[in-house]
Amino acid sequence: MKALFMCLVLIAFACTAPLVSKTSDTISELVKAHQAGDLKLFLGKFGTPKSIKATKNDGTFVYSYPHFETLVNPTKNEIITTSTFFWKSDDDYAYLKKLFGQYEWIEKPLPSPSHEISEVYSVEIPEIGVSFEYDRYAPKITWIFISKPVTK
Amino acid sequence: MKCLLTSIPLIMLLIPGFALACLENQIYVREHQVAPYVRVDQTPVSGYRRNGYCRDLDIENYFQDNSSQKIKGSSLKLKKWSEAEKKIVQSHIDKLPKWLGRYRFGEVLRAETDGTRNPAATVPYTKTIIFFDPFFKSKNQRDILIHEVSHIAVWDLDVSAAEEFAAVSGWSTNENQTKRFPPTNPIKADSVKSVTEDFANHIEIYYSNEGILRKHNPKAHEFIRKLVLQKENP
């Protein structure tokens, strides 16, 4: 009986635990990686990229991973910027608010034709270096860009 | 026994997260504040913050003469449906491709115009479709409906499929990973607005003139073909 009770408690605990999803983990880990800015730490976390491409700028490369690409400078042991394809839920905006709502969000409306049913906003979260756009009527984010955070 | 008990929560945490996309017959209701109220049995209930959730659409493809939604668009004047118009739209809904036909709409509204010759518009978030006057004068009503329902269906793609579609259609980011760019040769001019608009255009053209899609972008055509096959045979 005790074992059954413990089992139910543990299952209840597991069921109420935050859902672990690959994309939300990746976003959070990418944000942390950019806060550190360290390429070795980045590679330790994400492993070898599936492809590496030199850019036109000397010394920088684009490391490609499933769902994101990161601009790095191996000579300086530096990660610079990341773009990640984000396609998570029926309300990606709300999803990101839950992850990063504790930081300041700077939202600006972007022009859209008056006849269209859309309200597009650009969002910047300077403290974690995140930026994206979303449509209030169809809040799928699609791309999130991450760079070095702005320290206050 | 101890090992089994302690491993259960770990195993459950490793299970891929619950699908965060609602089902075809559901709409997503955003997180919101529920005001205090009194139950039928007079029990008072305090106000509380309700998490976002998927709500079943009890009435299918719900024709409405007005809406409580605050839909942007100063020239959006909702009007009453005529029975003839409802029959026209319903006849097209009934003939949608099988997988698109599984989607249910929150509201189906009627409006004069959005200020242009646009025949219809969709609010994917609430699964609302709005039909304007030009729709009823159009000769390709089926294509228009397929396009609008695709705006809803695109939300069902998983991240890998959505990303693959964006890539084969020609969406890209710059080398510095700071901006995204639409296809340089879009299948339709307004495809450049968003991946979802681009997807809706591709599905529309796949069903209206597959040869055009195949010729314009064989990779995108192949992606859509496989997707439709998968969706038609779940």
* Reported ipTM: 0.81
Looking at per-residue confidence, does B130 or B70 come out higher?
B130
Do B62 and B138 fall into the same domain?
Answer: yes
Bridging pattern class, strands B128-131 and B107-110: parallel
Could you give the count of Cα atoms lying within 13 Å of A54 in the half-sphere of its Cβ?
5
Cβ–Cβ contact B194 with A under 8 A: yes
Q: What is the pLDDT of residue A152?
A: 66
Do B137 and B194 fall into the same domain?
Answer: no
Question: Position A129: which residue type?
Answer: G
> Per the confidence metrics, is the pTM higher than 0.95?
no
The structure tokens listed for A38 are 């360290």
Spatial neighbors of A53 by CB under 8 A, at least 6 apart, are: A61, A62, A64
Q: What is the pLDDT of residue B30?
A: 75
Is the pLDDT score of A76 beyond 50?
A: yes
Do B103 and B134 fall into the same domain?
Answer: yes
* Cβ pair B56, B26 in contact under 8 A: yes
Q: Which residues of A touch B8 (CB under 8 A)?
A: 7, 10-11, 14
Tokens 């259960």 locate to B8
Q: What is the pLDDT of residue B104?
A: 86
Backbone angles phi, psi at B140, to 5 degrees: -120, 55
Could you give the count of Cα atoms lying within 13 Å of B212 in the half-sphere of its Cβ?
12
User: Does residue B46 belong to any structural domain of this protein?
Assistant: no
Q: Could you say which of B8, B163, B177 has the minimum Cβ distance to residue A71?
A: B177
Is the pLDDT score of A17 beyond 50?
A: no
Task: Please give the DSSP secondary-structure letter assigned to residue A56.
Answer: S
Indicate the helix (H) or strand (E) that contains B121. strand B120-123
By CB atoms closer than 10 A (0-12, 13-18, 19+), residue B201 is buried
User: Does residue B32 belong to any structural domain of this protein?
Assistant: no
Distance (Å, rounded) from C-alpha B118 to C-alpha A116?
9
Do B135 and B175 fall into the same domain?
Answer: no
Domain end marker among B83, B108, B142:
B142
CB count within 10 Å of CB A111 equals 6
Do B181 and B224 fall into the same domain?
Answer: yes
User: Does residue B34 belong to any structural domain of this protein?
Assistant: no
Is the pLDDT score of B186 beyond 90?
A: yes
Note whether A89 contacts B21, CB cutoff 8 Å. Answer: yes
Cβ–Cβ contact A20 with B under 8 A: yes
User: Does residue B107 belong to any structural domain of this protein?
Assistant: yes
Nearest C-alpha of chain A: how many angstroms from B82?
Answer: 24
Number of structural domains, chain B? Answer: 2
Do B168 and B104 fall into the same domain?
Answer: no
Domain end marker among B89, B117, B142:
B142
Q: Domain containing B193: what range?
A: 157-234
